[in-house]
Amino acid sequence: MFNNFEDMQTMGKANVDATMKSFEAVTKSTQAIVTEIADYSRRSLESGAKAAEKMIGAKSLDKAVEVQSEYAKTAYEDYVSEVTKLGELYANLAKETFKPYQDFAARVTPVK
């Protein structure tokens, strides 16, 4: 596995490099996730406020029920879309975090 001290130094440097790349990937992916959550929260609040305005302005019970049904359907569809996006972002986070270690692990693992 390690033939001499230089090999150990090289592997140590490779490990540090992989760790730094992994931290960079975590930072970028986490920023993307936080931005997406903040944008969704803002959109959701705006949508809820607009629906409340429409409900207040409804002239009849039928119109109020229609507005509420439309809002519920839209909110559900937006939620499902957001959860899908976040799932993809989290999967990307995992892939990008461990990608630098794949090369490192391949070099450390002895070949039989």
pTM for the structure as a whole: 0.73
Half-sphere exposure of 41 (CA within 13 A, CB side): 6
- Least confident range of 27-36, 64-73, 101-110: 101-110
7-50 per-position pLDDT tens digit: 777 777 877 888 888 888 889 999 999 999 999 999 999 999 99
| DSSP state letters, 43-101 | HHHHHHHHHHHHHHH-SSHHHHHHHHHHHHHHHHHHHHHHHHHHHHHHHHHHHHHHHHH
Q: How many CB atoms lie within 10 A of CB 10?
A: 13
Please compute the mean of the pLDDT values over residues 78-106 and round it to a whole number: 88
Domain ranges of the chain: 7-106
pLDDT at 111 over 70: no
